[in-house]
Amino acid sequence: MLSLQSPLDMHLHLREQDMLRTVAPLTAKSFAAAVVMPNLLQPVNSLDKVRAYCSAIKGAISTACEDVVFTPWMTLFFRNYSRAELIAARPEIIGVKLYPAGITTQSEAGVRDFDAIAATVALLEELDIPLLVHGESSGFVMDREAEFLQVYADLIRNFPRLRLVMEHISTAAALEFLDKHEQMAATVTLHHLMLTLDDMAGGLLQPHLFCKPIAKTPRDRDALRRAVLAGHPRLIFGSDSAPHPRHTKECCGCAAGIFSAPVALPMLAQIFDQAGRLEALQAFVRDNGLRFYGITPPDKTVCLQRKPWRVPENYGPVRPFLAGEELQWQLVDAEV
Amino acid sequence: MLSLQSPLDMHLHLREQDMLRTVAPLTAKSFAAAVVMPNLLQPVNSLDKVRAYCSAIKGAISTACEDVVFTPWMTLFFRNYSRAELIAARPEIIGVKLYPAGITTQSEAGVRDFDAIAATVALLEELDIPLLVHGESSGFVMDREAEFLQVYADLIRNFPRLRLVMEHISTAAALEFLDKHEQMAATVTLHHLMLTLDDMAGGLLQPHLFCKPIAKTPRDRDALRRAVLAGHPRLIFGSDSAPHPRHTKECCGCAAGIFSAPVALPMLAQIFDQAGRLEALQAFVRDNGLRFYGITPPDKTVCLQRKPWRVPENYGPVRPFLAGEELQWQLVDAEV
């Protein structure tokens, strides 16, 4: 038996409407809080939209499971904000999420000109609002994360007190960069701890393993895994769980994203357990995030036991990560 | 107007049954002859099977277009053959095709132990039968072709008079290797002259651009393109056109292969034309292959004109390469 105190998913996509109602309760079952991404069809780029989205999330969860403890930590979609806007939003957001334009799902409203963002980034630094970044260039897909490190370097040089999160890192290069810059943290997904490009395209093509950033080389995957298992204090679990209906994955022009919410904690427990590092999991799924963000999560104990179960083929219209596979750990009282 | 004398597709998949009847006439319309791959569900690994498959191909083509000039050049699927078998087969095949086991579509019967093939390779060398190789290791998908070069190096050292073809090369590394070894030639596909991994996975995932070897980096693609346009005398056009029904491409676990037969010559003409190298196309699609193989193709003139047309979305159950796109060159009298 493993008891986790207030486990957190520090990078999560919940979408809207029916999809929100399908997936939000699954995260609420496993986690005490989650950092919710703002890349909806209409980006969450005002305080009003933050409030409306937050209330839709809470509604979706309370309808499904009345007494569950879960807090959505909201983010604003990066644009150039005024000081007044950021001061007003600050109490209700955990950070501002920056997407380069067009780099991933629903990021068309993202940044096109990194020379034009300085004023807003300066405000984030001054107001001590974390900046969460999808860090990919528009270059060759295997090189995008490494190429983007130059943007981080510029941000760090110009804004030395900015709290900066490299989201869902996928390369050894990003990890090395993190180690040189104390002001940064990075989220790491479950799937980037497990997959390489081989899993997606080495045999038959597996669209359900297609994600952005794309899974990289064995060397990259192994470096991430080693650092996470070693208890790197600035690596934070963020699932990047991103649900897409099957018909948008098994088609011509398939969407990027892996839906890992229902398997995240059990599979993490299995990975840490198999490495003999179960005691390091608590820091990865809570302490490292809290230390960086300086935030207090709701009290919640989530228990897992070493008992095999088979991952369902579908949750509503979505095929989950590891569908049909047998995992060695499961949530106690999980209804899957 | 461009007149090509006896254009050849020196690497082609025609499959069987209905699929054969759908795709073979499209190749017969463009090409005077083609090297037909032997990786059927039951590998073509005996003279009887070569004869049966050859006659099925001829039947499929003559049913569709009675008077067309087209010769299928047959290959044997590599296994350990006796001298008697190879002597008997020699007049009816152009070469023997070697697949590492499991490396691509229907290659399960391929070679598992490269130490156990020497006797047969020695016979191929002695009998001067070309060995055509799908050169990929079982390593990381982006490194497979480069890793396999060691196998070629061993073959060359042990069999210095063997005629050896690196099929569908996709990397600058293979090209550099080719330049060091005069006894080798290499086929190059249309799609490896055009695509990188970005085209398949840089935006939305495009399963119709998924092939083996996987399309590599811009540097690799550009190196191939430069060498082909410069008229490299040992680079031979082979489409690797490989039809798969749409339902096996737009699914969970999609097959590798790009169906380029109906667009191959028009798109090659466009590429060579845009590079101002139209005069180099004849060597790429005929002379280089003939010189290496020492074979005579049937007389046939294929004419193309610079006149836009739109590639159909489907040929029977197959979505072609460049479906829906407008090409600048077309076959004269093409019925598409």
| Residues in chain B within 8 Å Cβ distance of A251 | 250
**For testing contact with chain A, the best of B252, B254, B258, B321 (most A CBs within 10 A):** B252
Q: Which of B141, B252, B254 sits opposite A197 (nearest CB)?
A: B141
**Among the listed ranges A173-177, A226-230, B63-67, which one has the minimum average pLDDT value?**
B63-67
The per-residue pLDDT for B237 is 98
What percent of chain A stands above pLDDT 90? Answer: 95
B179 among known catalytic residues: no
Rounded to an integer, what distance in angstroms lies between the CA atom of residue A167 and that of residue A160? 19
| Residues in chain B within 8 Å Cβ distance of A141 | 197-198, 201-202
Phi, psi of B305 (to 5 degrees): -130, 155
pLDDT band at B251 (very low <50, low <70, confident <90, very high): confident
Name the strands in the sheet holding A33-36, side by side, starting at the edge strand that comes first in the sequence: A8-12, A33-36, A71-77, A95-98, A131-133, A164-166, A184-188, A235-237
Q: What is the mean pLDDT of residues A265-285?
A: 98
Rounded to an integer, what distance in angstroms lies between the CA atom of residue A311 and that of residue A303? 18
Residue among B230, B240, B219, B216 nearest B284 (CA): B230
The per-residue pLDDT for B242 is 97
Residue among B158, B152, B120, B161 nearest B134 (CA): B152
Decide if A319 and B252 are in contact by the 8 Å CB cutoff: yes
Q: What is the mean pLDDT of residues A258-283?
A: 98
Q: What is the mean pLDDT of residues B307-335?
A: 93
Residue among A151, A146, A140 nearest A170 (CA): A146
Q: Which of B196, B217, B250 sits opposite A250 (nearest CB)?
A: B250
Q: Average pLDDT of chain B?
A: 96
Separation in Å, CA of A71 to nearest CA in chain B:
32
Residue among A268, A316, A266, A297 nearest A15 (CA): A316
| Residues in chain A within 8 Å Cβ distance of B253 | 204-206
Residue among B204, B133, B127, B201 nearest B162 (CA): B127
Q: What is the mean pLDDT of residues A256-276?
A: 98
**For testing contact with chain B, the best of A108, A144, A204, A314 (most B CBs within 10 A):** A204
**For testing contact with chain A, the best of B145, B204, B211 (most A CBs within 10 A):** B204
Residue located via tokens 């107007």: B1
What percent of chain B stands above pLDDT 90? Answer: 95
**CB-based burial, B168-189: b 16+ in 10 Å, e otherwise:** bbbbbbbbebbeebeebbbbbb
Name the interface residues of A facing B (CB cutoff 8 Å): 140-142, 196-198, 200-202, 204-208, 210, 214, 217-218, 249-256, 319
Name the interface residues of B facing A (CB cutoff 8 Å): 140-142, 196-198, 200-202, 204-208, 210, 214, 217-218, 249-256, 319
pLDDT band at B122 (very low <50, low <70, confident <90, very high): very high
Which of A9, A154, A220, A240 is catalytic? The answer is: A240
For the stretch B144-199, pLDDT in tens is 999 999 999 999 999 999 999 999 999 999 999 999 999 999 999 999 999 999 99
Rounded to an integer, what distance in angstroms lies between the CA atom of residue A290 and that of residue B318? 53
Asked whether residue B336 carries a pLDDT value surpassing 70, the answer given is: no
For the stretch A98-110, pLDDT in tens is 999 998 888 999 9
What percent of chain A stands above pLDDT 70? Answer: 99
Asked whether residue B85 carries a pLDDT value surpassing 50, the answer given is: yes
Pairing of strands B8-12, B33-36: parallel
Which of B240, B273, B299, B333 is catalytic? The answer is: B240
**Among the listed ranges B36-45, B249-258, B317-326, which one has the minimum average pLDDT value?**
B249-258
| Residues in chain A within 8 Å Cβ distance of B218 | 140
The per-residue pLDDT for A250 is 87
Decide if B201 and A254 are in contact by the 8 Å CB cutoff: no
> In terms of CA atoms, which chain A residue is nearest residue B220?
A140
Decide if A207 and B252 are in contact by the 8 Å CB cutoff: yes
Separation in Å, CA of B207 to nearest CA in chain A:
6
* Two structure tokens written together for B316: 């029977």
Rounded to an integer, what distance in angstroms lies between the CA atom of residue B179 and that of residue A302? 61
Decide if A198 and B140 are in contact by the 8 Å CB cutoff: yes
Residue located via tokens 């190059």: B188
Rounded to an integer, what distance in angstroms lies between the CA atom of residue A258 and that of residue A312? 15
Separation in Å, CA of B158 to nearest CA in chain A:
30
The per-residue pLDDT for B313 is 97
The per-residue pLDDT for B291 is 97
Q: What amino acid occupies position A47?
A: L
Decide if A214 and B201 are in contact by the 8 Å CB cutoff: yes
Q: What is the mean pLDDT of residues B89-104?
A: 96
CA distances to B43, B77, B105 from B108, rounded to whole Å, are: 9, 11, 8
Decide if A142 and B204 are in contact by the 8 Å CB cutoff: no
User: A with B: how many residue pairs have Cβ under 8 Å apart?
Assistant: 74
The per-residue pLDDT for B335 is 44
Rounded to an integer, what distance in angstroms lies between the CA atom of residue B113 and that of residue B134? 15
Is the link from the previous residue into A160 a cis peptide, with omega within 30 of 0? no
For the stretch A56-89, pLDDT in tens is 999 999 999 888 999 999 999 999 999 999 999 9
> In terms of CA atoms, which chain B residue is nearest residue A254?
B205
Residue among B314, B309, B312, B315 nearest B332 (CA): B309
CA distances to A20, A109, A155, B18, B187 from A104, rounded to whole Å, are: 19, 11, 21, 40, 35
Asked whether residue A17 carries a pLDDT value surpassing 80, the answer given is: yes
ipTM value: 0.94
Decide if A141 and B197 are in contact by the 8 Å CB cutoff: yes
Q: What is the mean pLDDT of residues B245-266?
A: 94
The per-residue pLDDT for B66 is 83
The per-residue pLDDT for B250 is 87
Decide if A200 and B196 are in contact by the 8 Å CB cutoff: no
Residue located via tokens 């156990």: B116
Decide if A201 and B140 are in contact by the 8 Å CB cutoff: no
Asked whether residue A335 carries a pLDDT value surpassing 70, the answer given is: no
For the stretch B207-231, pLDDT in tens is 999 999 999 999 999 999 999 999 9
**For testing contact with chain B, the best of A205, A210, A254 (most B CBs within 10 A):** A205
Asked whether residue A45 carries a pLDDT value surpassing 90, the answer given is: yes
Q: Which of A140, A200, A254 sits opposite B217 (nearest CB)?
A: A140
The per-residue pLDDT for A336 is 40
The per-residue pLDDT for B333 is 76
| Residues in chain B within 8 Å Cβ distance of A247 | none
Pairing of strands B95-98, B131-133: parallel
